[in-house]
Amino acid sequence: MEKITDWLRSYLLDKPYLSIFALFISLIGILLFVAQTYFNVNLWFEHRTPKETSHHYINITADSEYIAHDLEATGDSYDFKKIKYLNWRTLKLWADTNDLQEIAQNSYIWMRFEAKNIDQIPDPYCLVEHVGANFQVFNDSGELLFQSGKMDFSEKLPSQLQGEFSWIKLNHIPTEYYYVRFLHREGFLFGFTAFDNRIDSQSSIYKNFAKINLLPIIFSSFFIVVGTLCALVYFIEYKKKYYKLIDLAIFSFLVGLTEITRNHFIRFILDNSEALILISMIVPNFVFISMHSGLRRLFGAGKWNILNILIYINLAMAIFNSILGLQIDRSPELLQFFIQVRFFFISLTIINILGPIIVSYHAWRKGDELGLGHCISFIIVLFLVIIEIYITLSNDSSRIPVTYWGILIGVFAQGLSLEKSIFSNGQQIQEYKATLLKAEKSLKEAQLKTLQSKMSPHYLFNSLNTIHALHKTKPELIGDAILRLANNYRYFMDKTDRDLIPFEEEWEFTDDYLHLQKLRFYDTVRIEFRKEGDFKNVFLPPLVLQPIVENSFKHGFRTSAKSNWLIHIKASLTPEGKFQLLVYDNGAGLSKEILSNPNKLWERSLGNIKERIEHLYEKTHFEIVQNFPSGVRISLEIEDIISESPILLNS
């Protein structure tokens, strides 16, 4: 069990895969919508025709009374004077499950709505939204004002995923109620809007309809834009792994997408129902996953692993609801199931907000200053959600959603914390880089000083011995030897504290060194020292070439019994800017043990040279191999070494 938990945490919770999966599902819905709609948007509302927009609306409108069976007709009409005094039952949308089940089980349902005074409206209309049923509309006098579809079973009845917007032309005959007779599929619910909200002239209905939905559309668009921009920043800076940012981006995007696909006005103006249904049914199930994932990265899983548990629950519910939701139009049993558990979903929504409150509060108590802001913002969100649930349960069909404000506060709180977190991380990274640069600089200085300290006494001792020997054998060469030695030590004092020096200076320094070694070894060593190419724009770190050459004299020739030693040094530069250095000798060489062990092979000054070269240049190749038939062969290659205007930095 522990291994499974660790695997889930490593591959699902610590990575942003769940949030990205939710975004992927949403994008599939959007692509489907674009493919089916093909930008076919009708903004000329006067020419709106029925059966152009469908929506998923399984609830029956509140503020209504109903009779759960068909009424007896007198010929082709109904006696509404008697019908008026029948036992009409008030529909409690959320409170009474039995009412909903009774309505679902009866194919014919009558409803009535209180009429609005229309005497002052020159040309009264009503815009109604209906789904899953055919229906007739009557006034008190029994006049049939509108009929949608046939009121028998001679044609296929609309499903719950087949909705319409219809214009009903009303007359000026005074009426107390409007009566609606529905025919729907047995075992399923249907949807119908409240009449008193949209009875007016057509122009006023257009204006009010757009005005009521304008604020939700603005909020939804804002969330989508914020989510899109944050996602772009995340993918642009992908290597920085801003997982908190992608969680916020997807949460904001999903909230906006959910609300905009549920918006009545959007459904009214767009000519595609299936994709909107798909998005509005599937996307909301994933909203809380990205929210909890982002909070988990800020504050951890919390006490008792609250956020981990909520993420697992929401993932399971999202998959479960998505599968069942797509089948709800085919199975009355599924509809009955959703009716029974609808209060559970309300409770789960509240729990999904209570969890972050607890986690952020404990984070604040432990010293995380971001926790207090998040705790307060989620308390506000919870308060607004409870208000909206209360308004919904009160059957107030004219309500304005207030949860938007809570979500907006939450997004701002998350955004501020991310800004602070990323800014803080940016400062830490800059400080780390500065510290690292200082450390590298100090290390390089220490390495150079170590190299100098090892080389200077040994080199000076050998050089003075050579000059002393010349005093007896060839005194005329003493002056030249002292001058060469002085040049070498001037190079030590003036050049080795720089990051880069011209290659020609390193070459001259090595030439002076070789001249002294030639005097020391007399005719027992043959030196081949040449270069090919124009090196005026080539710059290298100091003490690169000379230590390589010194290794031959220090380790190769000293232990060899030969009297005809050879050292070959060649530097070349190709027209493409590829620098090549080759040094080989016929000395004692290296043992197989050293050649097969990289740590021992590079533990001397050559390892220091290799590190400095690889630090400064991207494409390098440094190799040490056995020379044939004896000795050591060292090759160094650096690509793109030419610099037109090098900056010589002091240590």
Name the band, by pLDDT with cuts 50, 70 and 90, for residue 131: confident
CA distance 337 to 285: 17
3-state percent helix, strand, coil for the chain, nearest multiple of 5: 55, 15, 30
Residue 359: which residues within 8 A CB-CB, separation 6 or more? 295, 299, 300, 301, 302, 303, 306, 307
What is the three-class DSSP state of 180? strand
Q: Which residue type sits at 179?
A: Y
Name the band, by pLDDT with cuts 50, 70 and 90, for residue 2: low
Strand partners, 622: 636
Name the band, by pLDDT with cuts 50, 70 and 90, for residue 458: low
> Residue-wise over 423-450: b if at least 16 C-beta within 10 A, else e?
eeeeeeeeeeeeeeeeeeeeebeebbee
Is the predicted pLDDT of residue 562 greater than 50, yes or no?
A: yes
Name the band, by pLDDT with cuts 50, 70 and 90, for residue 622: very high
pLDDT of residue 201: 83
Instruction: Dump pLDDT digits (tens) for 9-66.
Output: 665 666 666 666 666 665 665 555 555 444 444 433 333 333 333 322 233 344 578 9
Q: Are 552 and 587 in contact, with CB atoms under 8 Å apart?
A: yes
Per-residue pLDDT, averaged over 458-472, amounts to 71
Number of Cβ atoms within 10 Å of the Cβ of 46:
7
Q: What is the mean pLDDT of the chain?
A: 76
Instruction: Copy the structure tokens of residue 155.
Output: 């044609």
CA distance 89 to 120: 31
Strand partners, 47: none
Name the band, by pLDDT with cuts 50, 70 and 90, for residue 4: low
CA distance 640 to 619: 8
How, if at all, do strands 565-573 and 199-200 pair?
unpaired
pLDDT of residue 61: 44
Angle, to 10 degrees, between the axis of helix 243-262 and the axis of helix 17-37? 40
What is the three-class DSSP state of 449? helix
Is the predicted pLDDT of residue 437 greater than 70, yes or no?
A: no
> Residue-wise over 367-384: b if at least 16 C-beta within 10 A, else e?
ebebbebbbbbbbebbeb
pLDDT of residue 20: 65
Residue 84: which residues within 8 A CB-CB, separation 6 or more? 140, 176, 177
DSSP state of 556: I
pLDDT of residue 38: 45
Position of tokens 């089948």? 327
Per-residue pLDDT, averaged over 500-504, amounts to 89
Name the band, by pLDDT with cuts 50, 70 and 90, for residue 347: confident
Instruction: Copy the structure tokens of residue 146.
Output: 């509108």
What is the three-class DSSP state of 569? strand
**What's the longest Cα–Cα distance across the chain?**
146
CA distance 483 to 316: 84
Instruction: Dump pLDDT digits (tens) for 290-300.
Output: 888 888 888 88
pLDDT of residue 214: 83
Contacts made by residues 85-93, CB under 8 angstroms, sequence distance 24+? 88/112, 89/65, 90/64, 90/65, 91/60, 91/62, 91/64, 91/65, 91/66, 91/395, 92/395, 93/59, 93/60, 93/61, 93/62, 93/392, 93/393, 93/395
pLDDT of residue 102: 85
Per-residue pLDDT, averaged over 148-154, amounts to 89
Is the predicted pLDDT of residue 580 greater than 90, yes or no?
A: yes
pLDDT of residue 377: 82
Pseudo-torsion of CA 206, 212, 218, 220, nearest 10°? -110
pLDDT of residue 28: 60
CA distance 353 to 351: 5
Per-residue pLDDT, averaged over 543-568, amounts to 79
Position of tokens 């057509």? 202
What is the three-class DSSP state of 68? coil
pTM metric for this prediction: 0.54
Q: Are 131 and 164 in contact, with CB atoms under 8 Å apart?
A: yes
Phi and psi angles of residue 534, each rounded to the nearest 5 degrees, phi first = -100, 110
H-helix or E-strand containing 167?
Answer: strand 163-169
